[in-house]
Amino acid sequence: MADSAHPFDRALRLETVDTDTVRGTTSPQWANMVGPFGGITAAALLRAVESHPDRIGDPLALTVNFAAPIADGEFDICLRAARTNRSNQHWMLELRQGDEVKTTATALFGLHRDTWADDESRPPSAPAPEDVAAGRFVDAIVWAKRYDMRFTDGPVPTGAVDPSTSSTTTLWVRDAEGRRLDFAALASLSDVFFPRIFLRRGRFVPAGTISLTTYFHATSDEIDAIGDDFLLASAHANRFSRGYFDQSAHLWSRAGQLLASTHQLVYFKD
Amino acid sequence: MADSAHPFDRALRLETVDTDTVRGTTSPQWANMVGPFGGITAAALLRAVESHPDRIGDPLALTVNFAAPIADGEFDICLRAARTNRSNQHWMLELRQGDEVKTTATALFGLHRDTWADDESRPPSAPAPEDVAAGRFVDAIVWAKRYDMRFTDGPVPTGAVDPSTSSTTTLWVRDAEGRRLDFAALASLSDVFFPRIFLRRGRFVPAGTISLTTYFHATSDEIDAIGDDFLLASAHANRFSRGYFDQSAHLWSRAGQLLASTHQLVYFKD
């Protein structure tokens, strides 16, 4: 019988092994060059906390360290609340295959309060997603087919392209099959950007995220209100040096509300 | 006999308890409103990895989660390399007092390679530190006396100040006693900024960092070359919402070289 679940939900199916361990399986639909897309791993780690019986509140911060490639097949996520306070909770996680640690992570969950609020971020100007052609990614990158990406600045360099003086990419992005946004999907989207070094070199360069941190500004109500609409996503690098660069990125709703700030350190060989 | 060591080095003295545990003691000279300055805790965690016999390479990324206030007195840092690869190493750390976890952290260390390089970041324009008066912080904040801070934008609001429309602070900063920069000092400086909400509200607001991530761009040679000179440091917030805001900051050498990118999530009550 065919599995009719959405590929994202299928990739996030986690079976309880014991109180502090859940088991998942990699999905061919989320394959990257080597191992699965980092975003789907981040989402699975977040979901492991979300579905833990001791969890309180919503995701506030998530740091994922990609220590080694995840092989196709089963993986175990071991997680525990290192500290539970009145209004927040600090989690430590490890993703293992056999006796090997493949990914480490920390997650901060917490309750929201009504407070003074202001969105100081300014989304880059971009034409409406309906006026932008669907972007090309790279056929070999399977996970990219899971998203409808419409680049308005700094698209993937395909073929012979001059190196850019800017590492900035801006795109509209949403689930390709119209799955509604949730926290796990936002965690996955925080890794949707191809490596910034591609733009600066005008070509592909071996590169991979080694540490990813996402701050979740959106509440669950705000996320519900977005439904399956496009998000505006923009990323840039700060410094490329001796094999590493950092990326900072932001994800806004169409209305210009900042949903997440996300940062990563990437290794490259060039 | 008086202890003639620099306050920073005193705060980073770690005694080996066993292979995976070191013990430190809080320093009154680094006291914050509640518990020690977050930067000195980040520095102690980094130093714990730096001084571990299995450590390879230099700091690349550090995430520190401030789970609960550290009480005055002794603390234990438990650390282990979750994964060691050919060129990098992933550490997990916990800072404990008794059986309570006060801080969790992950650290990524690694080797640098010669690669294509470019610094895309642009430091804000600022007068030379010699032309800026030493800034006032707040007398009650002891740790702030450890730094020579010269604000060129967005100083600490003292007394009656109008709320600013911008959360940006820029300052020149160096050790007040001329201690030379090293990776641990850079980790500490990554938390040198007062909470951005102070500027937006024009007054003090209860606030505290709950998660801090720093990416180290500088190599040890670059850090050595800086000696005891000022760094230019600039921080801004992106979104304030329901009890939390994020801050992104950068630290440059006087020559305009980006040494570190650092991000944090802060809780506030207002």
Q: What is the interface pTM, i.e. ipTM, of the complex?
A: 0.97
Q: Which residues of B touch A102 (CB under 8 A)?
A: 83
**Residues across chain A:** 270
Burial class (CB in 10 A: 0-12, 13-18, 19+), A95: buried
**pLDDT per residue as tens, chain A (270 positions):** 567 899 999 999 999 999 999 999 999 999 998 899 999 999 999 999 999 999 999 999 999 999 999 999 999 999 999 999 999 999 999 999 999 999 999 999 999 999 999 999 999 999 999 999 998 777 789 999 999 999 999 999 987 789 999 999 999 999 999 999 999 999 999 999 999 999 999 999 999 999 999 999 999 999 999 999 999 999 999 999 999 999 999 999 999 999 999 999 999 998
Give the residue on B whose Cα is nearest the Cα of A220. B242
Are the CB atoms for B24 and A67 separated by under 8 Å?
no
Nearest to residue A25, comparing CAs of A37, A9, A12? A12
The pLDDT, as a whole number, for residue A161 is 87
Provide the pLDDT for residue A207: 96
Number of structural domains in chain B: 1
Which of B89, B109, B242 to probe the A interface (max A CBs under 10 A)? B242
pLDDT value, residue B2: 66
B92 vs B79: CA distance, rounded Å: 6
Q: Would B116 be classed as within a structural domain? A: no
Q: How many CB atoms lie within 10 A of CB B206?
A: 12
Tell whether A55 is covered by a domain.
yes
pLDDT value at residue A60: 98
How far apart CA B150 and CA B130 sit, in angstroms, is 9
| The amino acid at A51 | S
- The minimal CB distance from A242 to the residues B115, B121, B236 is found for B115
Is the Cα torsion angle B127, B132, B138, B144 positive or negative in sign?
positive
Distance from CA of A6 to the nearest CA of B (A): 31
Say if the Cβ atoms of B114 and A242 lie within 8 Å: yes
DSSP string across B121-160: --PPP---GGGSPPPP--TT-GGGGGEEEEEEES----SS
Structure tokens at B39: 């930067």
**Structural domain of residue A156, as residue ranges?**
7-112+127-268
**Average pLDDT for B246-256:** 98
In this prediction, residue A160 carries a pLDDT of 74
Residue bearing tokens 């000279």: B29
Contact B22, B77 (CB under 8 A): yes
pLDDT of residue A138: 77
**Mean pLDDT of the region B116-137:** 94
Q: Which of A94, A120, A239 sits opposite B217 (nearest CB)?
A: A239
Report yes or no on A184 lying in a domain.
yes
Counting beta carbons within 10 angstroms of the beta carbon of residue A104, is it exposed (0 to 12), middle (13 to 18) or buried (19 or more)? buried
Strands (E), A99-163: 100-110, 118-119, 147-153
| Nearest Cβ partner for A106 among B60, B65, B167 | B65
Q: Count CB neighbours of A2 within 10 A.
A: 4
- A40–chain B nearest CA distance, Å: 20
Mean pLDDT of B221-246: 97
Task: Please report whether residue A120 resides in a domain.
Answer: no
CATH code where residue B102 lies:
2.40.160.210
Angle at B151 between CA B64 and CA B35, to 5 degrees: 35
Q: Cβ contact (<8 Å) for B121 and A238?
A: yes
Mean pLDDT of B249-253: 98
- B117 contacts A241? CB cut-off 8 A: yes
Contact B240 A167 (CB under 8 A): no
* Pairwise CB contact (< 8 Å): B82 & A101: yes
List pLDDT tens digits, range B9-59: 999 999 999 999 999 999 999 999 889 999 999 999 999 999 999 999 999
pLDDT of residue A6: 96
Side chain identity, residue A15:
E
- Residue A17's contacts (CB-CB under 8 Å, 6 or more residues apart) are A23, A76
Q: Chain A contacts of B258, Cβ < 8 Å? A: 238-239
Examine residue B119 and state whether it is found in any structural domain, yes or no.
Answer: no
Residue B43 in tokens: 């520095």
* CA distance, residue B128 to nearest chain A CA (Å): 23
**A115:B240 CB<8 A:** yes
B238 falls in which pLDDT band (50, 70, 90)? very high
Chain B, nearest residue to A118 by Cα? B240
Nearest-Cα residue of chain B relative to residue A196: B120
Shortest distance, CA A262 to any CA of chain B (angstroms): 9
Contact A82 B92 (CB under 8 A): no
* Residue of chain A minimizing CA distance to B102: A83
Asked if residue B136 has pLDDT above 80, the reply is no
Considering the domain boundaries, does residue B117 fall inside one?
no
Residue A122 lies in a domain: no
Distance CA A37, CA A52 (A): 23
Instruction: Give per-residue pLDDT as tens, B45-85.
Output: 999 999 999 999 999 999 999 999 999 999 999 999 999 99
| Residue A1, pLDDT score | 54
Query: How many percent of chain B have pLDDT more than 90?
Result: 93
Range list of H helices, B153-205: 183-189, 197-201
CA within 13 Å, CB half, B50: 20
B240–A117 C-beta distance less than 8 A? yes
**B2 in a structural domain:** no
